[in-house]
Each structure stands twice: as structure tokens, then as C-alpha cells.
């Protein structure tokens, strides 16, 4: 258990200054508040009455931590947070964590040092414990697109497993039995959750997952193409495919088409996220909608208004039926 | 001509403090420097020896002003600037200008107030004069994707008209004579430049632009669909199409396909930007490549390293030949 002396030492200030920060004295410089609060968080220091630091200190910004900058998913997420920032007359300070625990923590510390006290974070690499420690001290800290047990009030998340369950069920309902799955290599919670939904739907239909049906590939444009190539190489009687995201689905569809396997006539495909403008696709992609912009808006509101605002934190995925799924034909 | 007194008054400081800022005294707080510099800029105050404020004050950030957050174009732009920021151990402060002159200026003032002295800006709405005034005082201010005469050293831009010239020429070389053009409604310099390139190529081939061939539509997913619908409504013998950007091209291709006009058999199409992953497209889109990530990297380097670094500022568009253009068939 750390003491006020530890905090003072770590922050390079006197214990009197730490007291002033805890008691929200107006005489302390914002930089000093930031330094002291960061030291408290890092040391896990608890004030006697377990007092939270006040929301909306550090005033005119919202901090946003993304995993990367270049994807429509994060574009929509940023757009959502910015809508709220604009409403509150705030600007965004943005940093990226690149799915790396150290970079995520660095980004967070950077925003804290900038005096940012309202932070929306897309964290996939820092541990639950680390995030809970920050959340317990910083009511304006909200995790978006991840469920962290122990800080439910400061999370906005999607029921991922339900999404792939719906996708797989939709294919089963169309008579498909040999359903492949494209997963990602990155060990993030969504990976396990989405796979679980796929597995559950199959099991309910009396089908055990065939490991040969499952491909794990890197994120990015080439992942889906690689997965499709691998599935083709194995020459399995697969008639349908659930993809971890729309990118994998889109790239796979092209590779199958190049090999004379057209969608949906010979292969039915369901994506995930619904972040790609449908104007590109022939056939238009049946997918599971993740309402990421809406989730980001709710996360930003939660971050600025506090959890008393009563915004929804748990989001349901929705199956969006378009043209990439057809009835299975017995071969 | 404004005086040191005007600046002091506007910034709410003494003339002695303004002097200290001009002489780069280390005793002035960063917030005060920011306030004084901003007052200087707004008043157009010139120091006696026309001394520029120093590069790399305001230290650990790069400011980035985008037009919006949700597009692959701005995703790539942000990614480029972040690569340089990372190299220099800096973080990004990001704001958006939404193609609106007041919002652009507000975003700029916000970053200046944050003490940001290295700023990469995607400005389409503020006037040349406004930008030149900022640039003359702030060597770390760089405009990306726009040529502003009078501040060439602090701009990184693309030869836009050459891009549409190449696109149109490519279609003419394939025997097309009736070539439509999808333009945007927004009155930005790129619009005039890109249209000029289209017009020039046609005129060199002895063809005058038929106003019926040209559609001006709003940015966004629906713009291209609207343009295609309008062109179909007019029932013209158009065999080819140049689009202001890839989004317009992609959406138009879908609408034409829905009406039985397949690309490239019955219609050849060339896009612009090359920011869409090709894995989506059938046929893969022939387009003009705008190297926006590379331009952003150069802009950020120019912004941090200064124009002595000798980075390229003028970029050439390149025609990327894929599968959406075919020889014209006489009907």
C-alpha cells in the first residue's frame, strides 16, 4: 500500500502539494496536478475516502487513443468522438497504441501529462488490471469496444460472440454445414469472443468445428487473400464462410472469384463490422453490423457527462442481410 | 502596420514581455509565448529584422489539421504524419476543419494556443493570404495537398491537373471520344485543377467539353451513384468516364452495373487517388495515384526539420493501369 510520501517522491513535489491536489486546491498548476495524479495511478495510491479525482478537470480537450489511424473502423470511431467533442466545444488530442501494451501505456501517460482528464481509449493490449487501476482514479476514462470486468461503468462494448453466432446461424439456416472461418492472428479478446460465437452456433446444430476450416491470418488487406488461398489449397467441400471482419471477407471473395468460385452461387460469405461502403461490392456483402460510431459517441458522452448520464454501454450486433448468402446446393 | 504596443494589448501582456518573446528569452512561459505569437500573427506584426519565430518551440507535439476524420484519404495522411512524429518522439494533436474557413481558423488557433509550433494543415477553405500570414511567422507551419503561391517552401502538393490529364489521355488512347466527368460540388482548388486537366486532354484531341457530360455531386458514398444516375437519365452515348475520386468511380460502376452496363466492356472508368484497397473491386480500378501518405511524411518532415532539409514538395500523379479500361467499340 503506497503512502502520500511515495506519491510526493515519485512526482517530485512536497507532500503538502500532494494534499492540495487531493483536496482540489485551485492553487496548483495543471502540470503539477497531472504529475501527481499520474504518480498516484502508477503507485495505485488510494485516498482515505477513496475519493475519485474530479471529472472534467483539464477542460478543453478529449483525449482519444486508437489502435491505428488508417482504417475505416477507426475513422468512424474518431468521427463519433469528435461529434461529442464539438458539442462540448472541445478538441481532440489523439494518440495511437498499435496493439502494443507499452505503446498503449505510453499514449495514456502522454495524454495525462497533457492535463487530459477525459480520455476515450481503444485498448486491446493493456491488461484488465492496468485499466481498472486507471479507471478507479479517473472517472473521465472510458474504454470503447472492450468489456473489462471490474470497470463496467466505464466501458462501452459490443456483444461480439453474439455477432458471429448470428452470422453462422444465418448460414446454417440456408442449409450450409461446411462453414469455414477466417480469424485474425492477433491475440485480442475479440478474437476469442468471435470464434466462440461461431463454434456455439455450429455445436447447437450438432456440428463440431473442423480445425481445417479455420484460418488465422494477419490483419490487413492481404490477410483475407491468404486465408482464401489456404482454404482453396486444402480442397475442402466448404460452401460457406464467416469472416472476422469485412476486409477479410472482401479480399477472400476476390480470390475465390479469381478461381471461378463466385459468391453467393458457389460460396456464401458473411463479414463483420459493416464499415465498408457497400457501393464497392458485387455482390453486396451480408455482414454483422458493429455500430462503432454510435459506440464512440456513447463512450465520449460517458467520458464527459459521467456514468450518471445513463448512456447505453452494452451494444448488440445486428445481422445485415444483403446479397452474399444463398441457399446451399447439395453437390 | 501594427506596433509592439498593439501586440502587447491584444495578448494582455506588457511590451517588455513581447520583447522577451521576440528575443527568445527563456524566462517566458510557453503559454505566454503562444499568446504573444498568436497576437502577432493576427495583427500581422513584423519584427524589425523580419525574424521568424524559431522552429521547434512548443516541443513534444505535431499539430495536424484534417478536413474530416472518416475517410481512407485522411487515414493515410494521418498515418504518414504519425510515422514522422514517432521518429521524433512526438505525439499528435489533431483537429478538423470540415472544409469551412472559420472552423479551419479555429482549429489552427486552438493548436497555437496549445503551444503547438509544428503544424501540418490540410486546408481547403482559408484564403491564400491568411495562410501566408501564418506561414511568414511560423516556420513549422506546412500546408499539405495544396499549392499556395507565396509560401511554396511551406507547401507539399500534387500536380492535380496532370492527373486528370493522364486519365483522360489514357481513355482517348483507347479510342474513346465521348468521355464523361464526375466532379465535386465543393469549390476547392482541386476541383478546378482536375477539371482543367480533363478539358486540356480533350481539347488536344480536338474535342470540346460537352457540359452534359459533366456532373457535379456532393462528396460521400452517394455522390457517385447520383452522378451515374444523372448520366444514365440523359441517355448520352458516353463510353468512358473520368471521376474526381475513387469513391465516385466505385459508386458509379455499381449503378451502371445495376443497369446492365458493365465495366470495362461497355464503359471504361478511371478514378483518382488510389486510396481504396483493390481487394474490393471487380474489375480492379484503373486510377490516378495520389501519394498522400508519402506527401504527408514529407510535409511532417518539412514541418519539423525545416525547409533546409531539402525534402520534395511537388508530387507527380501516376496513372495506375488496372482492369477498368478497355478499347472503345464503335456502336
Q: What is the pLDDT of residue A113?
A: 81
| B254 shares contact with chain A (CB less than 8 Å) | yes
Which residue matches cell numbers 457527462?
Answer: A305
pLDDT at B52: 43
What average pLDDT does the segment A312-328 reach? 95
Range with lowest mean pLDDT among A124-128, A218-222, A284-288, B65-69? A218-222
What residues of A are in contact with residue B84 (Cβ under 8 Å)? none
Chain B residue with CA closest to A220: the answer is B277
Q: Compute the average pLDDT of residues B122-140.
A: 95
| Buried b / exposed e along B261-295 (16+ C-beta atoms within 10 A) | bebbeebbbbbbbbbbbbbbbbbebbbbbbbbbeb
Nearest to B133 by CA among B157, B111, B150: B150
Q: Does A118 touch chain B (CB under 8 A)?
A: no
- The average pLDDT across B124-136 equals 95
Alpha carbon of residue A325 to chain centroid? 27
Q: Is pLDDT of B245 > 80?
A: yes
User: CA of B92, closest CA in chain A: separation in Å?
Assistant: 6
Residue of A nearest to B220 (CA): A277
- What number is the average pLDDT over the span B221-232? 93
The grid cell for B6 is 498593439
Point out the residue among B68, B79, B110 whose CB comes nearest to the CB of A69: B79
How far does the CA of residue A247 sit from the closest CA of chain B (Å)?
Answer: 8
Q: What percent of chain A has pLDDT above 90?
A: 65
Q: Which CATH topology does B4-158+293-315 take?
A: Rossmann fold (3.40.50)
- Residue in A78, A221, A277 closest to B279 by CB: A221
CATH topology assigned to domain A160-292 = Rossmann fold (3.40.50)
User: Among candidates A73, A204, A61, which has minimal Cα distance to A145?
Assistant: A73
Is B199 a residue whose pLDDT tops 50? yes
Of A15-29, A142-156, A217-231, where does mean pLDDT reach its minimum? A15-29
CB atoms within 10 A of CB A209: 14
- HEC letters along B249-268: HHHHHHHHHHCCCCCCCCCE
Q: Tell me the mean pLDDT in the region A216-241.
A: 94
Residue B23 has pLDDT above 90, yes or no: no
Above 80 in pLDDT, residue B172?
A: yes
* Percent share of chain B, pLDDT over 90: 65
Pairing of strands A314-315, A155-158: parallel
Q: What share of chain A is helix, strand, coil (3-state, %, to 5)?
A: 45, 15, 40
pLDDT digits (tens, 9 = 90+) for A291-300: 999 999 999 9
Q: Which CATH superfamily is domain A4-157+294-315 in?
A: Response regulator (3.40.50.2300)
Pick the CATH number of B160-291 from 3.40.50.300, 3.40.50.2000, 3.40.50.2020, 3.40.50.2300: 3.40.50.2300
For residue A250, give the nearest of B96, B247, B279 by CB distance: B279
pLDDT at A26: 62
Residue of higher predicted confidence among B92 and B49: B92
Question: Is it the case that residue A49 has pLDDT exceeding 60?
Answer: no
Say if residue B283 is preceded by a cis peptide, omega within 30 of 0: yes
* pLDDT surpassing 70 at residue B68: yes
Looking at chain B from residue 130 to 159, which residues have their Cβ under 8 Å from any Cβ of chain A?
none
A50-99 pLDDT per residue, tens: 444 444 445 678 999 999 888 889 999 999 999 999 888 888 888 889 89
CB spacing of B221 vs A69 below 8 angstroms = no
Q: What are phi and psi of B313, to 5 degrees?
A: -115, -20
With beta carbons under 8 A apart, name residues in chain A contacting B70: 72, 75-76, 78-79
pLDDT of residue B36: 82
Q: For residue B287, give the nearest of B261, B329, B248, B327 by alpha carbon.
A: B248
**In contact, A3 and A9? CB cutoff 8 Å:** no
CB contact, 8 Å: A190 with chain B? no
Taking one residue from A and the other from B, the number of pairs with CB-CB distance under 8 angstroms is 88
Check residue A182 and give its pLDDT. 98
Average pLDDT for chain B: 89
Contact B263, B240 (CB under 8 A): no
Report the sign of the C-alpha dihedral through residues A66, A70, A73, A79, in that order.
positive
**Nearest CB to A78; choose among B69, B72, B107:** B69
Distances, alpha carbon B111 to alpha carbons A93, A140, B14, B94, B155, in Å: 10, 22, 23, 8, 19
Q: What SS3 class is residue B116?
A: coil
| Cβ pair A277:B247 closer than 8 A | yes
- Predicted pLDDT at A24: 65
pLDDT of residue B53: 45
User: Which H helix or E strand runs over A111?
Assistant: helix A101-113
Q: Is pLDDT of B50 > 60?
A: no
B283 pLDDT band, cuts 50/70/90, is confident
Mean of the pLDDT values across residues B52-67?
70
Which residues in chain A are contacts of B72 at CB distance < 8 A? 70, 72, 75
* Residue whose C-alpha cell is 483475407: A224
Pinpoint the alpha helices (H) of B64-158.
72-87, 101-113, 128-137
Residues in chain B closer than 8 A to A278 (CB atoms)? 221
Inform me whether the pLDDT recorded for A241 exceeds 90.
yes
Residue spans of the domains in chain A: they are 4-157+294-315, 160-292
pLDDT at A309: 74
Q: Which residue of B has its CA nearest to A111?
A: B91
pLDDT at position B51: 43
Categorize the per-residue pLDDT at B195 as very low, low, confident or very high, splitting at 50, 70 and 90: very high
Instruction: For residue A3, name the pLDDT band (cuts at 50, 70, 90).
Output: confident
Share of chain B above pLDDT 70, in %: 92
Q: Which residues does chain A have within 8 Å of residue B250's beta carbon, measured at their own beta carbons?
A: 277, 279-280
Cell representation of residue B111: 493548436
Smallest CA–CA distance, residue A95 to chain B, in Å, is 6
Query: Which pLDDT belongs to residue B149?
Result: 95
| Mutation target among B69, B249, B271, B287 for the A interface, most CBs of A within 10 A | B69
CA atoms lying within 13 Å on the CB side of residue A53: 30
Q: Is the pLDDT of residue B278 over 80?
A: no
Q: By the CB < 8 Å criterion, does B103 face chain A?
A: no
Q: What is the pLDDT of residues A134-191, one digit of tens each?
A: 999 999 999 999 999 999 999 999 999 999 999 999 999 999 999 999 999 999 999 9
Q: What phi and psi values does residue A300 have, to the nearest 5 degrees?
A: -65, -40
| Average pLDDT value for residue range A14-18 | 85
- B4-158+293-315 and B160-291: identical CATH topology: yes
Report yes or no: A107 at the B interface, CB cutoff 8 Å.
yes
Amino acid at each position: 500500500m503506497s503512502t502520500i510520501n511515495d506519491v510526493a517522491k515519485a512526482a517530485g513535489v512536497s507532500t503538502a502539494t500532494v494534499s492540495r491536489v487531493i483536496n482540489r486546491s485551485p492553487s496548483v498548476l495543471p502540470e503539477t496536478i497531472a504529475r501527481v495524479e499520474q504518480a498516484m495511478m502508477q503507485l495505485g495510491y488510494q485516498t482515505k475516502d477513496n475519493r475519485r479525482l474530479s471529472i472534467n478537470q483539464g477542460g478543453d480537450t478529449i483525449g482519444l487513443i486508437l489502435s491505428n489511424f488508417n482504417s475505416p473502423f477507426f475513422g468512424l470511431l474518431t468521427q463519433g468522438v469528435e461529434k461529442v467533442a464539438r458539442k462540448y466545444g472541445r478538441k481532440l488530442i489523439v494518440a495511437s497504441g498499435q496493439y502494443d501494451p507499452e505503446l498503449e501505456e505510453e499514449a495514456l501517460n502522454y495524454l495525462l501529462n497533457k492535463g487530459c482528464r477525459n480520455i476515450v481509449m481503444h485498448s486491446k493490449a493493456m491488461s484488465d488490471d492496468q485499466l481498472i487501476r486507471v479507471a478507479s482514479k479517473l472517472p473521465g476514462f472510458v474504454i470503447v469496444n472492450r468489456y473489462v470486468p471490474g470497470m463496467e461503468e466505464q466501458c462501452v462494448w459490443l456483444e461480439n460472440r453474439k455477432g458471429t453466432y448470428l452470422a453462422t446461424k444465418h448460414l446454417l439456416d440456408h442449409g450450409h454445414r461446411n462453414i469455414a472461418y477466417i480469424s485474425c492472428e492477433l491475440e485480442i479478446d475479440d478474437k476469442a469472443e468471435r470464434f466462440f460465437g461461431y463454434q456455439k452456433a455450429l455445436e447447437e446444430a450438432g456440428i463440431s468445428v473442423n480445425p481445417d476450416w479455420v484460418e488465422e491470418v494477419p490483419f490487413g488487406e492481404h490477410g483475407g487473400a491468404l486465408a482464401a488461398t489456404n482454404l482453396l489449397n486444402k480442397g475442402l467441400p466448404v460452401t460457406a464462410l464467416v469472416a472476422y471482419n469485412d476486409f477479410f471477407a472482401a479480399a477472400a471473395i476476390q480470390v475465390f472469384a479469381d478461381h471461378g468460385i463466385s459468391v453467393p452461387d458457389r460460396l456464401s460469405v458473411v463479414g463483420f463490422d459493416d464499415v465498408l461502403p457497400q457501393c464497392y461490392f458485387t455482390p453486396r456483402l451480408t455482414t454483422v453490423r458493429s455500430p462503432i460510431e454510435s459506440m464512440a459517441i456513447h463512450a465520449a458522452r460517458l467520458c464527459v457527462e459521467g456514468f450518471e448520464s445513463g448512456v447505453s454501454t452494452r451494444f448488440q450486433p445486428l445481422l445485415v442481410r444483403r446479397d452474399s448468402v444463398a441457399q446451399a446446393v447439395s453437390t
